[in-house]
Amino acid sequence: MAVTYISSKNHSLSNRYNFVLVILISLVFSVTQSPYSFGANPPSAPQYVEPMSDTNQVAITWDPPSSNGGEALLTYTARIWSLPPPTTSAVLASCTTTQLGCIVSGLTSGTVYYVDVIASNSAGPGAPSASRSISPGAAGKPPSAVTATSDAKGLITVKWMPLTSAGTGTFAWYRAEVFTESEIGIGSYSGYCTSGAITDSSCLIGGLKLGATYYVQVRTYTSLGSGFPSFPRVKIIAGTPAAPSATPSPTKTLPSSTASPQESSSPSQSNSSKATPIATGKAISSSPPQSVKVVALSKALRVSWSPPKYTGGLKILGYRVQAFGAGYDVLMHECRTSAKVLTCTLKNLGPKQVYQGAVYVVFAGKESQGSKGFRVITKS
């Protein structure tokens, strides 16, 4: 009978080999069972978050993040806060979806809430979006009977049926917006115009590409924030003077996102904004103010400009500077001057906050197109 003899040295090496093997197997198993993937990175923050007010609920839409971290399938969580984040307070409510929008119900109408959105993939959650404020409530029904027509120069006239009531909020303005897509799309926002009286029924959008197809919607802003947009978006070809045609109803259950890279604004007008109604219509034959310069001050911006190159024979009554905040300050801020004063200061702004805006020439009942937009961060 053969006897195998194992020395104490070989026995020790065998135990050491088995121990290392167990560790390696454990590591492989833990990696395969981990909820996070080492092949992906967390996505960046969702873009252009847009909360919209309704009775006791808020609808939120957004665009995907600029980086998905290497994975196409993302999960989104929209969060509702009682204080602007970052905060140590708990999340009041949330909704999670793989779509680009969801609705949070069970809120108190008239109460100010703050909304942000986080995208997640197998590597975990990314950074939250900038927060937006919103107050649930009847913010006014979407304008109806929306139409759009274009002249040969590509100027689009948007018309709608005026509202008879702004719901439970105080009317602020109408906002007509154009997009390059009939539904939510990254970077599809192309321009807008506003009208500042509840009886207004039209405004004009310029600066579009001749021959390009656009889709138009109109929203009502009140002291509660943005209401739902008109639905569906109306199709128009810039530079083709023809009757508009309505697009087929989008398959999404939520209204299309309306925030934009340049105008990330859902302005909730209040007494603190010190905003006055925006003049109705745009002056077609006037160029905008030139050479806009902005100096960042402590919680303020000093804006200066040069007169327009031409006015089409219209008499200049003055100028208006408007800016929308980001983060916790989403109000519209503005200052006005006479025809001879080419500078004014936007005051009572947030410290170290981003503001985007433009300068307009004011005529009798009309305004020029906005100047080249500015984007500035205030000082502390």
Within 10 angstroms of residue 150's Cβ, the number of other Cβ atoms is: 21
The pLDDT value recorded for residue 102 is 87
Task: Read off the pLDDT band of 9 (50, 70, 90).
Answer: very low
Q: Please tell me the distance from the alpha carbon of residue 327 to that of residue 86, in angstroms, as a whole number.
A: 11
Torsion of CA 291, 195, 250, 248, to 10 degrees: -110
**Which residue has 């103010």 as its token pair?**
289
Higher pLDDT: 164 or 5? It is 164
The pLDDT value recorded for residue 100 is 83
**Does the pLDDT of residue 301 top 60, yes or no?**
yes
Q: Which residues contact 342 (CB under 8 A, 6 or more apart)?
A: 304, 305, 306, 307, 319
Question: Which candidate, 155, 204, 209, places its Cα nearest to that of 180?
Answer: 209
Task: Read off the pLDDT band of 242 (50, 70, 90).
Answer: low
Mean pLDDT over 211-226 rounds to: 88
Lowest mean pLDDT among 9-23, 206-220, 295-309, 324-338: 9-23
Ranges of CATH 2.60.40.10 domains, the chain:
47-134, 144-246, 271-377
The pLDDT value recorded for residue 1 is 44
Bridge-partner residues for 360, per DSSP? 320
**Does the pLDDT of residue 8 top 70, yes or no?**
no
The pLDDT value recorded for residue 69 is 92
The pLDDT value recorded for residue 27 is 42
Q: Please tell me the distance from the alpha carbon of residue 373 to that of residue 85, in angstroms, as a whole number.
A: 28
Higher pLDDT: 274 or 192? It is 192
In the chain, pLDDT over 70 holds for what percent of residues? Answer: 74
Q: Which helix or strand (DSSP H or E) is residue 218 part of?
A: strand 213-222
The pLDDT value recorded for residue 332 is 64
**Does the pLDDT of residue 295 top 90, yes or no?**
yes
**Does the pLDDT of residue 249 top 50, yes or no?**
no
Is-contact 208 214, C-beta < 8 A? yes
Higher pLDDT: 145 or 32? It is 145
* 3-state secondary structure at position 79: strand
> CA torsion sign, 248 to 254 to 260 to 266?
positive
Question: How much of the chain is helix, strand and coil, in % rounded to 5?
Answer: 10, 40, 55
* pLDDT tens digits, 93-142: 999 998 888 889 889 888 888 899 999 999 999 999 988 888 887 666 78
Q: pTM of this prediction? A: 0.52
The pLDDT value recorded for residue 239 is 92
Is-contact 313 295, C-beta < 8 A? no
Mean pLDDT over 77-86 rounds to: 90
DSSP designation for 75: E
Which fold would CATH assign to domain 271-377? Answer: Immunoglobulin-like (2.60.40)
Surface-to-core class of residue 22, CB atoms within 10 Å of its CB (0-12 exposed, 13-18 middle, 19+ buried): exposed
Q: In what order do the strands lie in the sheet with 47-54?
A: 47-54, 57-63, 101-105
R_g over Cα of the chain: 27
CA angle 78, 329, 302 (to 5 degrees): 145
**Does the pLDDT of residue 23 top 70, yes or no?**
no
The pLDDT value recorded for residue 270 is 29
The pLDDT value recorded for residue 182 is 84
The pLDDT value recorded for residue 261 is 31
Bridge-partner residues for 118, per DSSP? 77
Q: Which residues contact 273 (CB under 8 A, 6 or more apart)?
A: 267, 331, 332, 333
Side-chain-facing half-sphere of 220: CA atoms under 13 Å: 35
Is-contact 149 199, C-beta < 8 A? no
**Does the pLDDT of residue 44 top 50, yes or no?**
yes
Instruction: Specify the amino acid at residue 202.
Output: S
Does domain 144-246 fall under CATH 2.60.40.10? My reply is yes
DSSP string, 335-360: EEEETT--EEEE-SPPTT-EEEEEEE
Instruction: Give the homologous superfamily in CATH for domain 47-134.
Output: Immunoglobulins (2.60.40.10)
